[in-house]
Amino acid sequence: MSQGDPGNGAAAPVTSLTDPLDDGDRAPAAADGPTEKCGVVGVSLTDRAAARPLYYSLYALQHRGQDSAGIATHDGFQQHSHVGMGLVGDAFDGTDLDGLAGSAGIGHVRYPTAGGVNARCAQPFSVSFKSGALALAHNGNLVNADDIRDELASSGHAFTSRGDTEVIAHDLARNLIEADLIRAVKRTMDRVHGSYSLTVMHDDTVLGVRDPLGNRPLCIGKLEDGYVLASESAAIDTLDGDLVRDVRPGELVVLESDGSGFESYQLFEEEHTARCFFEHVYFARPDSVIDDTLVYEARRDLGRALWEESGVDSDVVMPVPDSGRAFASGYADAAAEDGAEVEFAEGLMKNRYVGRTFIMPTQDERERAVRLKLNPIRSTVEGRTVTLIDDSIVRGTTSTQLVELLRDAGAAEVHVRIGAPAIVAPCYMGIDMATREELIAAGRPVEEIRDDIAADSLSYLSVDAVADALASSRADLCLGCVTGEYPYDIDGETADRDVSRPAVGEPPPADD
Ligand code: AMP
């Protein structure tokens, strides 16, 4: 790894901004441990309690985690924290917020997993040690947490969970005994491998760290009276703030504790990034800007590319709500521009009081949940050829159920178009997907999947179209779940990520 270190171990600040607006922006994770796929936030304000802004931003990031929610603040003397299970609204009541004193703080929402949901995994994770109090909120997943945990445990560190966040917290706490904050963070980043976007609070100093490959998002926002770090810019919008920019891969951002600015330390600089393409496809809010791209527009572009690659004549184009909406609108626009006579309409109505089907532990419950969640609008469907658009197929439950539902509602033909490539491998970097055995597309041709879901036709988007729509080279994206090639060495996975591919728009190398 190349490092932006001046030589004495501590990196120099590369930017110190008071007006940054001028500066331009489930996999079998930790083996048997809980997985960490979440939303994080941190704020430092001039003269106002941080608890409410943190609470509101957690609401804005609720889609990134519904298992638990928590906030830790610092009032200059001591740390306060409250974590609770469930949605943000369930985890806090008014009096909980009143007890969170101080104008600096961090917050976290945790992603649901089928098993192992318990309060010990809830974050922020807090630890007190010789040189202060530390709180950590983590989005991502380490691939070497077990090794570091074993080493720290053998030198006397007591762990309360199997989670990798606690590993980062202990490692950082140990480093902080011997080194200043910047050096300590750098040493920890040197040791932990995998994906992490962190908000950290050391006493009343709030920091944001993005892993050297920038796998998970993290951005900086400016408020009237301070600064905010958040997984997604939608959280900054909720606080009436302005997005300053993304935290760069390998960058440490330290918010001034008086809310007046922030310092940036580029601790690591890699030749390639490994930004998760699935954030833009599924995970992030469409109204968030991630790595300079508005997620909604990226999804529309993916939809347009889908029409260009595999458009099919039909009477009506309809999204799977809500995940397919932006894709279907881009697809329908591109179809109309090509002179196709196709109506764009809602053909499925969503019951918004049913949670995500994905967290249903059994297949039977997952199938039932699709029927609970979506009901066809007969007038859109009856007697017509239908193109159904979604962002992704994982196990195939949703598409199988929906094709059947649309046929029962009288559809003459059902064509399925997917705005991402086939998911053929697990995610080890922080998205709760499924195991390889559960993935309908793992090791199987599209025709077999089409047959399974009983569609008249099925097409996925190509990997190159994804890179194009995200204005990125394939070599700078993590495409592990659609290629089986990962940016890190993963036990049991053999294919390495191919970073020799050309940037978007460049001609392929001669031997490609
Ligand atoms: P499946 O029914 O298993 O094929 O899952 C596909 C549906 O789940 C699609 O409608 C996606 O929008 C959605 N989906 C994709 N990835 C995830 C995920 N990691 N967590 C929850 N839902 C997802």
- Check which CATH number belongs to the domain holding 305 and give it: 3.40.50.2020
Residue 485 located in a structural domain: no
Report the b/e string of 229-240 with b at 16+ CB within 10 A.
bbbbbbbbbbbe
Q: Judge if the beta carbon of residue 321 lies within 6 A of ligand 1.
A: no
Residues 218 and 319 in one domain: no
The CATH number assigned to the domain holding 137 equals: 3.60.20.10
28's CB contacts (< 8 A; 6+ apart) are 426, 428, 435
Provide the token pair at 159.
Answer: 């762990």
In this predicted structure, the answer to whether residue 116 has a pLDDT above a threshold of 90 is no
In this predicted structure, the answer to whether residue 310 has a pLDDT above a threshold of 90 is yes
Q: Is 155 exposed, middle or buried (0-12, 13-18, 19+ CB in 10 A)?
A: exposed
Q: Which of 274, 306, 321 is the last residue of a domain?
A: 274
Q: Backbone dihedral region of 477: left (phi > 0), alpha (psi from -120 to 50 degrees) or beta?
A: beta
In this predicted structure, the answer to whether residue 16 has a pLDDT above a threshold of 80 is no
354-374 pLDDT, tens per residue? 765 455 567 777 777 888 889
Q: What is the pLDDT of residue 280?
A: 97
Residue 25 to residues 244, 289, 456, 479: CA-CA distances in angstroms? 5, 10, 45, 24
Best residue for ligand 1 mutational test, from 38, 278, 398, 452 (most atoms within 8 Å of Cβ):
398
Q: Which of 229, 244, 274 is the last residue of a domain?
A: 274
Q: Judge if the beta carbon of residue 431 lies within 6 A of ligand 1.
A: yes
Residues 253 and 364 in one domain: no
Q: Judge if the beta carbon of residue 358 lies within 6 A of ligand 1.
A: yes
Provide the token pair at 307.
Answer: 């029409």
Question: Over pLDDT 90: what percentage of the chain?
Answer: 75
Residue 444: name the closest of 485, 397, 398, 396 by CA. 396
Distance 393 CA to ligand 1 centre (A): 6
User: Catalytic residue positions?
Assistant: 38
- Torsion over CA of 324, 330, 336 and 341, rounded to 10 degrees? -10
In this predicted structure, the answer to whether residue 119 has a pLDDT above a threshold of 70 is no
Residues 265 and 308 in one domain: no
For the chain, how many structural domains are there in total? 2
Q: Judge if the beta carbon of residue 111 lies within 6 A of ligand 1.
A: no
Residues 312 and 252 in one domain: no
Q: Which atom of ligand 1 is nearest to the CA of 390?
A: 10
Q: Judge if the beta carbon of residue 378 lies within 6 A of ligand 1.
A: no
328-364 pLDDT, tens per residue? 999 999 999 999 999 999 999 999 887 654 555 677 7
Residue 453: name the closest of 463, 464, 461, 444 by CA. 444
Residues 103 and 209 in one domain: yes
Residue 458 located in a structural domain: yes
- Give mean pLDDT, residues 55-70: 95
In this predicted structure, the answer to whether residue 195 has a pLDDT above a threshold of 60 is yes
* Calpha distance 374→356 (Å, rounded): 12
Within 13 Å of residue 29, how many CA atoms lie on the same side as its CB? Answer: 28
Query: Quick one: angle between helices 397-408 and 446-453, nearest 10?
Result: 50
Distance 363 CA to ligand 1 centre (A): 13
Residues 321 and 419 in one domain: yes
Q: Judge if the beta carbon of residue 392 lies within 6 A of ligand 1.
A: yes
Mean pLDDT of the chain: 87
Question: Domain containing 440: what range?
Answer: 295-473
Q: Judge if the beta carbon of residue 393 lies within 6 A of ligand 1.
A: yes
Q: What is the pLDDT of residue 287?
A: 98
For 449, other C-beta atoms within 10 Å of its C-beta total 21
Q: Which atom of ligand 1 is nearest to the CA of 398?
A: 2
Look at the alpha carbons of 210, 138, 432, 238 in this order and tell me if their dihedral is positive or negative.
negative
- One-letter amino acid identity for 168? I
Q: Which of 473, 488, 504 is the last residue of a domain?
A: 473
Q: Judge if the beta carbon of residue 350 lies within 6 A of ligand 1.
A: no
Q: What is the pLDDT of residue 62?
A: 95
In this predicted structure, the answer to whether residue 421 has a pLDDT above a threshold of 50 is yes
Q: What is the pLDDT of residue 369?
A: 80
The 3-state DSSP class for residue 42 equals strand
Query: Quick one: angle between helices 181-191 and 164-178, nearest 10?
Result: 140
Residue with tokens 């040493």: 187
Which residue has the least CA distance to atom 5 on ligand 1? 394
In this predicted structure, the answer to whether residue 503 has a pLDDT above a threshold of 60 is no
For the entire predicted model, the pTM comes to 0.88
Q: Judge if the beta carbon of residue 389 lies within 6 A of ligand 1.
A: no
66-111 pLDDT, tens per residue? 889 999 999 999 999 999 999 999 999 979 999 999 999 999 999 8
pLDDT tier for residue 261 given thresholds of 50, 70 and 90 = very high
Q: Which atom of ligand 1 is nearest to the CA of 427?
A: 19
Residue 247 located in a structural domain: yes
Which residue has the least CA distance to atom 9 on ligand 1? 392
- Torsion over CA of 352, 355, 358 and 362, rounded to 10 degrees? -120
Q: What is the pLDDT of residue 368?
A: 77
Q: Is 486 exposed, middle or buried (0-12, 13-18, 19+ CB in 10 A)?
A: buried
Q: Which atom of ligand 1 is nearest to the CA of 393?
A: 4
In this predicted structure, the answer to whether residue 508 has a pLDDT above a threshold of 70 is no
- Give mean pLDDT, residues 124-134: 90
For 310, other C-beta atoms within 10 Å of its C-beta total 18
Residue 152 to residues 81, 145, 168, 430: CA-CA distances in angstroms? 25, 10, 10, 23
Residues 128 and 58 in one domain: yes
* Calpha distance 47→346 (Å, rounded): 48
Residues 241 and 331 in one domain: no
137-172 pLDDT, tens per residue? 999 999 999 999 999 999 988 888 888 899 999 999
Q: What is the pLDDT of residue 96?
A: 95
Spatial contact of 171 and 205, defined as CB atoms under 8 Å apart: no
Q: What is the pLDDT of residue 356?
A: 56
Residues 242 and 317 in one domain: no
Provide the token pair at 5.
Answer: 């270190």
Helical spans, DSSP H, in 342-396: 363-373, 378-381
pLDDT tier for residue 2 given thresholds of 50, 70 and 90 = very low
Residue 283 located in a structural domain: no
Residue 396 located in a structural domain: yes
Question: Over pLDDT 70: what percentage of the chain?
Answer: 87
In this predicted structure, the answer to whether residue 318 has a pLDDT above a threshold of 90 is yes
Q: What is the pLDDT of residue 163?
A: 85
Provide the token pair at 391.
Answer: 């962002």
Cα of 55 vs its chain's centroid, Å: 19
Q: Judge if the beta carbon of residue 44 lies within 6 A of ligand 1.
A: no
Q: What is the pLDDT of residue 48?
A: 96
Q: Judge if the beta carbon of residue 278 lies within 6 A of ligand 1.
A: no
- Give mean pLDDT, residues 286-309: 97
Q: Which atom of ligand 1 is nearest to the CA of 366?
A: 2
Residue 317 located in a structural domain: yes
451-493 pLDDT, tens per residue? 999 999 999 999 999 999 998 899 999 999 999 999 988 888 8
In this predicted structure, the answer to whether residue 26 has a pLDDT above a threshold of 90 is no
pLDDT tier for residue 4 given thresholds of 50, 70 and 90 = very low
Which residue has the least CA distance to atom 22 on ligand 1? 358
Residue 270 located in a structural domain: yes
In this predicted structure, the answer to whether residue 118 has a pLDDT above a threshold of 90 is no
Distance 255 CA to ligand 1 centre (A): 36
Distance 394 CA to ligand 1 centre (A): 6
Helices and strands: H and E segment counts in the chain? 16, 25
Residues 252 and 363 in one domain: no
Spatial contact of 248 and 210, defined as CB atoms under 8 Å apart: yes
* Calpha distance 98→82 (Å, rounded): 11
Determine the Cα angle at 475 with ends 469 and 480, to 5°.
Answer: 85
Q: What is the pLDDT of residue 467?
A: 95
Residue 357: name the closest of 434, 460, 276, 440 by CA. 434
Spatial contact of 142 and 161, defined as CB atoms under 8 Å apart: no
Distance 343 CA to ligand 1 centre (A): 26
Residue 40 located in a structural domain: yes
Residues 112 and 255 in one domain: yes
pLDDT tier for residue 20 given thresholds of 50, 70 and 90 = very low
Distance 112 CA to ligand 1 centre (A): 13
- Give mean pLDDT, residues 238-260: 98
Residues 458 and 355 in one domain: yes
Provide the token pair at 463.
Answer: 């990997």
Q: Which atom of ligand 1 is nearest to the CA of 397?
A: 2
Distance 390 CA to ligand 1 centre (A): 9
Distance 55 CA to ligand 1 centre (A): 27
